[in-house]
Amino acid sequence: MAKYLLVYKTTGEPMPELTPEQMEATNEAWMSWGGKAGPAIVDFGSPVAAVATADSTIGGYSILEAADSAALATLLEGHPHVAQGGTIDTYEFLAIPGA
């Protein structure tokens, strides 16, 4: 199984204040996706904030495990970050030579 880093990208605009109802709906969408992805989730991840000159469009990350990129694409179907207008960059972890 390969491991993949998902980098959640935004428009770079600050996240708008959400009402309690919107926050609950957002959390439910993420938990629903997490339930679907199940054991493929190695690290659910976290939101992140840019420091100094870092790319402010990066809003968070997750790490998933999948048989291949096609299986990863299936796991990402209906992902809440995309449904909320964001994009996801995916990167495969590579073996470290000699390790």
The pTM (predicted TM-score) of the whole model is 0.89
Domains of the chain: residue spans and CATH: 2-92 (3.30.70.1060)
Whole-angstrom Cα distance, residue 86 to residue 69?
Answer: 20
26 alpha carbon, distance to own chain's centre:
14
Helix (H, G, I), strand (E, B) or coil at 23: helix
Give yes or no for residue 16 having a pLDDT over 80: no
- At 49-87, the pLDDT tens digits run 889 999 989 999 999 999 999 999 999 999 999 988 899
